[in-house]
Amino acid sequence: MKNKKFDTKCIHNEKGIEKHTGSVMPPINLSSTYAQSSPGKPLGSYEYIRSDNPTRSVLESFLASLENGKHAISFSSGMAAVASITRLLQKGQVLIAGDDLYGGTGRFMNDFLKPEGFEVLYADTTDPERFQHWDKASLIWVETPTNPLLKITDIQKIKSLAPNAILVVDNTFMSPKFQNPLDHGADIVMHSSTKYIGGHSDVLGGAAITNSDQINEKLKKVQNDLGSVPSPFDCYMLTRGIKTLSLRMEKHEENASFIAGKLKNHNNVEVVYWPGLKSHHGHMIHKSQSSGYGGMVSFKASKNIHFDNLVSKRKYWTLAESLGGVESLLCVPSKMTHSSIDEKTRQKKGITDNLVRLSCGVEDCEDLWNDLAKGLDS
């Protein structure tokens, strides 16, 4: 069982068939409390739903297996995972984060961690040797590829520069299908499981996976104390999503490859960001630590087009935040996911008003391109 291939891991895990009923799909256990044989001695493995739940245990078993990890903790949202993981820090300790992050993560670090007495520094992790303060870090937060510019970070390089820091890699964009950061030196892999793991834009969740017993114990305590747990129904939905994760990711990537290639050759596109393009900065680094390139594509549209037509008059591209669902989504980060960042900082980061982020769904790739091209040709 330990040598299962990824496709098999998505279907079968160590929990196996439900023993009491033979249920092929793990059932939803809604009980909030569990009987004890005597005070302090539960009849089984569970005491109270905030601490653990059978449906959650099944999900966490899948998550750990998919990321080649020993422990997995599922959270009520991706941001709940962010908040809980950063609680591993003590006041006065330093968090170093990549300078291109999901807007919500950056907002949390600036609006909550800094005022609480944590020092937060930002670094260009695509060129880590230029940054001189890795030795200060107690925790490092990296996205690779980043949101929304898909910048690539060498995970092993970062770990070598700060071997004593806890290295967290947000693997939301790649999913476990294409990248397993624990295999490259990360201490914690984080996911917004709302995205590709759920895969259908109908569930909220987050996850943290680690091989460290100590980190797992601390995170479990933080989660239990804060109460940032997912409902049994959400855990069931995420487990169901995992069943088709491999199949979906292959189609997402196939469509992204097609769309990126078309965009690269279009006269009204200034630049395309997709790790699968050989011209993409960090392409070879990404290739060395990942088995695929994912379904996210960003590009900057020419200022010659009618931008409103591009973003709002599409038939198959829904203008919406989030990503990773079976339907294709189009987002303008400067106005949507990263709007909380002040304009001057956004411009400096390259998150300009003509930047478009695409979450390529699983529709027919030619239908998607023809629909998008109408806006680019306007």
- Say which of 50, 107, 287, 313 is annotated catalytic: 50
Active-site residue flag, 236: no
Catalytic residue, chosen from 34, 102, 236, 293, is 102
**Residue 107 among the catalytic residues:** no
Active site residue 240: no
Q: Are 338 and 351 in contact (CB under 8 A)?
A: yes
Annotated active-site residue 50? The verdict is yes
Starting at the earlier edge strand, list the strands of the sheet with 166-170.
71-75, 206-210, 188-191, 166-170, 137-143, 94-98, 119-123
Question: Which residue is catalytic, options 100, 154, 170, 187?
Answer: 170
Of the candidates 9, 56, 151, 195, the residue annotated as catalytic is 195
Whether 27 contacts 55, CB under 8 Å: yes
Which residues are catalytic, by number?
Answer: 50, 102, 170, 195
